[in-house]
A and B are shown apart, each in its own frame.
Chain A
Amino acid sequence: MTTTAIRQPGSKETQPATARRHWTFVPVVDIVERADEWLVYADLPGATVDNIDINFERGVLTLHAGVQSRQDENKTNFVLREYGVGDFHRSFEIGEGVDADRIHAEFNRGVLTLHLPKSEFAKSRKIQIRTK
């Protein structure tokens, strides 16, 4: 995972627990085009189906996953800390060509797969040439 935010091992939070920061990370994605759809694969480790929100509004596709810290910041005795845990958020501007009503998604092993079916006019067609 590439959402890297390093804190020095052993560094202690000095803020009160109520002011504890909550981080947001940009998930890495692959975007693949196939004949009839675009596919967005997003790494969202630690997310669950229930806390992933996918929104499509006025041409903007937004992915959001709320991920809570898995360890109690104040009580955990960290010896090595190479990444932070927090929400994932990323938006994409989508032009015409996606059939918004048929957008659907799956979530498996921490990876979101988002299907963006092409609308009819965005599909390439093979043109038949007839000879007389």
Chain B
Amino acid sequence: MFPMAVFNDFRREMDRVLGAFSPGNGRPFREGLYPPVNVWEDGEAFYLEAEIPGVDMKDIDLEVVGNELTIKGRREPVAGSEGERPTFHRRERGVGEFSRVVMLPTDVNPDKVEATLRDGVLTITLPKAERVKARKITVKTN
């Protein structure tokens, strides 16, 4: 109960920036859509970044087959204290299990994939498979 309207927030202007990926209302993450990712590349590798705040590295499972990366994980719901059932006044953060498949433009070397998780940001380095790496061809002139 909130007799004094304790939390009136000022988000009305900004709500528009919340987009289609919002899991929202403490519901389970939507299958296949979470987390959103950014992917970039250079000659050596693809780099994938995803924001997954509140998730432990031990709860993340990565699998690479060919050019397909699967990210699986889970986020625990907000815990109640000893035996107490918390009352939610806002519940916007998604909880539970998520799974996302990302198709990369080319195959990667699954043995050399590395991942770090820092302040809720997951970064994965996926070296390209040898045979698809761009090669610099030296042209000899006579």
- A interface list, Cβ under 8 A from B: 1-6, 25-26, 28-35, 38-39, 41, 43-48, 70-71, 76-83, 90-98, 109-111
Chain A residue nearest to B89 in the complex (CB): A31
Chain A residue nearest to B104 in the complex (CB): A79
Least CB distance from B74 to A in Å reads 13
Cβ-defined contact, B4 with A95, below 8 A: yes
Least CB distance from A97 to B in Å reads 6
Contacts of A45 in B (CB 8 A): 51-53, 119-121
Cβ-defined contact, A44 with B53, below 8 A: yes
Interface residues in B88-106 (C-beta closer than 8 Å to A) = 88-94, 102, 104-105
Beyond A28-B93, A33-B86, A78-B38, is A94–B54 a contact (Cβ under 8 Å)?
no
Contacts of B35 in A (CB 8 A): 1
Chain A residue nearest to B1 in the complex (CB): A33
A/B interface sample: 9 pairs, CB < 8 A: A30-B88, A32-B86, A33-B86, A33-B87, A34-B87, A41-B93, A43-B120, A92-B10, A93-B7
Cα distance A21–B27 when bound, in Å?
32
Least CB distance from B18 to A in Å reads 6
Cβ-defined contact, B120 with A110, below 8 A: yes
Beyond contacts A2-B18, A79-B105, A92-B10: 7 other A-B pairs, Cβ-Cβ < 8 A, are: A4-B17, A31-B7, A43-B93, A45-B120, A82-B38, A110-B52, A110-B119
Interface SS, B side: loop
Least CB distance from B106 to A in Å reads 10
Beyond A81-B38, A109-B53, A109-B56, is A2–B21 a contact (Cβ under 8 Å)?
yes
Contacts of B11 in A (CB 8 A): 26, 90
Contacts of B88 in A (CB 8 A): 30-33
Contacts of A39 in B (CB 8 A): 78, 86
Cβ-defined contact, B54 with A30, below 8 A: no
Cβ-defined contact, A82 with B41, below 8 A: no
